[in-house]
Chain A
Amino acid sequence: MTSGETAVRPVSAAGSARGGKRMARLWRHRSLLLMCAPAIVFFLIFAYLPMPGLYLAFIQFNYADGIFRSPFVGWDNFRFLVMTGDLWKLTFNTVAYNLAFIVLGNLLQVLVAVLLNEIRRKWFKKVTQTIMFLPFFISPVLIGLLAYNILSYDYGLLNQWIQSFGGEPVQTYSNPYVWPYIIVFTFLWQMTGYGSIIYFAAIMGLDSEIVEAAEIDGANALQRIRYIILPWLKPTFIILLLFSLGGVLKGNFGLFYNLVGANNTALYSTTDIIETYVFRSLMVHFNFSMGSAVSLYQSVFGFAIVVTANWLVKKISPENSLF
């Protein structure tokens, strides 16, 4: 087809020669392209195909009319989310939780890695590392149950302890103000062992001669940590922090949903994040448009945040930037 076109219209010869080259290049790489084909199809279907569906955010979707005949309402869904204050509440909760997870999480991970590094007993290090890694491997469903075992009003371990000290049992599952602590604590409980591995590996990468030289010069253990190990971990810390900041609008649905419970409305004021709201608007209220509006908001602002975070990473350490 390309050669025929060249014969009829010599003017576009250059263009079609380029096209021919492109075809030739595609052909030359056909086997590698074919090897990528399943992945391309996979992400096309499960990640790209849903994207245009965000058009739902601009209509008043009803099942009978379907996507294309439901009435177009423009920005009304967003206006509603802003007026009810939902959007602000969701953004605040999601971002605040993530900031707590990121900052406290990384600090605790550094602390665990540094302390582990000070311990010389091999078996102790191995056993405790394995135990601290354990919570990473369990499902969110089990996490919900573990929390219930401790927090349940009637049977929980917490109230047993409180009562054995003569205190009044607490109603955890109806008090929204304690949940930020519970959720952050649970997150730290689950992810610290996993996250400290990166920092521990970074400390292992530290040249032992530097440490020994410092010791010979009379640096004590605290000074060694303060002036050698922590500065050595600083770049890793900053990069990981910035990367996680990119996901500051993304919530951990499984954790929140299983901890709080499917319909514990009493706790929504402090525990409702974007993911749980979207889930409810889909599965409980069947308000597909409102859920999509929140998702679109999340995707657009999340994208902007990642680009900004990446720009910062690029400034600090170009070889670590994502794109």
Chain B
Amino acid sequence: MPKGLRAMDGSALLVKGVGYVFITLFSAACLIPFVIIVSSSLTTESSILRHGFNLWPREFTWFAYQIVFENPRLIVGSYVVTFCLTAVGTAVGLFLIAMTGYALQRPDFVYRNHISFFIYFTTLFSGGLVPFYLLITRYLHLKDNYLAVLLPGLMTPFLVIMMKTFVRSIPHAITESAKIDGAGDFTIFLRLILPMSTPALATIGLFLAIGYWNEWYHSMLFLSSNVEYRPLQLFLYNVITSAEFIRNSAAASNVEPRNVPLESMKMATAVVATGPVILFYPLVQRYFIKGITVGAVKG
């Protein structure tokens, strides 16, 4: 692009200036709340009570983290539960979504439109929360069972459609020539299509994984009462909303209940529960970007 033309252009300077300022401010706004959380988790409780939350720790301490990890049974249990749910849910869900997506984009599969609509229709009409709740608790008897969180998250119409769109870019000729060589549909899917669709699998796998890691709704509905090791986000929710819950979970440590740093412990728990996602996502965000740009256009 001819540089000289740009330089003469006064409005270009204006647009650029506005661009840098606006984008910088917006990015700062996106970041600041996280800075507050981290800094508050490292601040003494008395400082928070006196001065409030801050962008930097006024009186630095590791105390909140010490209490969180002094008696790590509950939080480690939560980590294990969430990690297992994420791993199993993502693996199983990804396999099922890929298999369905492949079958539904096969041009020679005469039922593909019927089944696609069968799946898509669930986004148009739903029974709502109450019947779903009754189904899980009264008919499937999954209350206080981790399956109540694992199963409903395995597939979404959105991800099936996204998979379909991805796989469509693999030439149908590959399937056809493999058929001539005598391979069955499932073999073709497993041996040829799956290895060729690693970018799609990464994208959809990450959408599933982030969904399970951040899962809180179904956990709150079905695992709130009698489950000792709660999924991480439900654990965090309990810590945030109930001082009693914090005192109980800190009970085994040698801190007197009234000395438990309630506010900074909320923040420390939030950091521990969210840390992995924040460290991990910059490495994988390009897969999300791919998924968004593909998924935005309909399947």
Cα–Cα distance between A292 and B81 once the two chains are bound (Å): 32
Partner of A201, one of B115, B240, B293: B293
Cβ B130 vs Cβ A115 within 8 A: no
B128 partner, pick from A132, A291, A306, beta carbons under 8 A: A291
Contact B1 A215 (CB under 8 A): yes
User: CB of A100 within 8 A of chain B?
Assistant: no
Q: Which residues of B contact A320 (CB under 8 A)?
A: 297-298
Q: Which residues of A sit under 8 angstroms from B115, Cβ to Cβ? A: 36, 39-40
Q: How would residues 62 to 100 of chain B score, 1 for a CB under 8 Å from any chain A CB and 0 otherwise?
A: 000000000000000000000000000000000011011
Please encode chain B, from 252 to 283, with 1 for each CB lying within 8 Å of some chain A CB and 0 for all others.
00000000000100110010011001100110
| Cα A149 to Cα B36 with chains together (Å) | 7
Knowing A145-B270, A221-B9 are in contact, say whether A306-B29 is a contact too (CB < 8 A).
Answer: no
Whether a CB of chain B sits under 8 angstroms from the CB of A225 is yes
Segment of B10-18, B165-173, B196-204, B243-251 in the binding face: B10-18
Given contacts A43-B119, A291-B128, contact A220 B9 (CB under 8 A): yes
Q: Per-residue CB proximity of A24-46 to B under 8 Å, as 1/0?
A: 01000101111110111011011
Q: For window 174-195 of chain A, which residues contact chain B by CB distance below 8 Å?
A: 189, 192-194
Beyond A36-B100, A131-B31, A155-B52, whether A299 also contacts B128 by CB under 8 A is: yes
Interface size grouping (class) on chain A: 35 or more
Whether the pair B185, A31 counts as a contact (CB closer than 8 A) is yes
> Which of B24, B125, B160, B215 sits near A51, CB closer than 8 Å?
B125
Q: Does A240 contact B (CB under 8 A)?
A: yes
Interface contact B5-A51, CB-CB below 8 Å: no
Knowing A39-B119, A150-B33, A220-B10, the reply to whether A116 touches B19 (Cβ < 8 A) is yes
Contact A220 B184 (CB under 8 A): no
Q: Give, as a whole number of angstroms, the nearest-CB distance from B57 to chain A.
A: 14
- Which of A49, A157, A198, A282 contacts B135, CB < 8 Å? A49
Check B23–A295 contact: CB distance below 8 A.
no
Asked whether A53 lies within 8 Å of B135 as measured between CB atoms, the reply is: yes
Contact B122 A197 (CB under 8 A): no
Q: Is the interface of A mostly helix, strand, loop or mixed?
A: helix
Pairwise interchain contact B30-A278, C-beta atoms closer than 8 A:
no
A156, B52: Cβ atoms closer than 8 Å: yes
A321 partner residues in chain B, CB cutoff 8 A: 298
Cβ-based interface call for A112 (8 A): yes
List of B residues within 8 angstroms of A156 by Cβ: 52-53
Q: Which residues of B contact A150 (CB under 8 A)?
A: 33, 36, 53
Give bound CA distance, A25 to B48, whole Å: 71
| A137 interface residue (CB < 8 Å to B) | yes
Mark each residue of chain B from 35 to 65: 1 if its CB lies under 8 Å from any CB of chain A, else 0: 0110010000000110111110000000000
Most interface-central of A137, A223, A261, A299 (chain B CB within 10 A): A137
Q: Are B281 and A133 in contact (CB under 8 A)?
A: yes
The complex places the Cα of A283 from the Cα of B118 at a distance, in Å, of: 30
Chain B positions near chain A (C-beta within 8 angstroms): 1-2, 5-6, 9-12, 14-16, 18-20, 22-24, 26-27, 29-31, 33-34, 36-37, 40, 48-49, 51-55, 96-97, 99-100, 102-104, 106, 109-111, 115, 117-120, 122, 124-135, 151-152, 154-155, 157, 160, 184-186, 189, 210, 213-217, 221, 233, 236-237, 240-241, 263, 266-267, 270, 273-274, 277-278, 281-282, 285, 288-289, 292-293, 296-298
27 A-B residue pairings within 8 Å (CB atoms): A29-B110, A29-B111, A32-B109, A38-B100, A39-B115, A39-B155, A43-B118, A43-B122, A49-B127, A50-B131, A51-B127, A54-B131, A119-B23, A130-B285, A131-B30, A133-B285, A134-B281, A157-B52, A189-B30, A201-B293, A220-B10, A221-B16, A253-B217, A254-B216, A254-B217, A282-B130, A306-B124
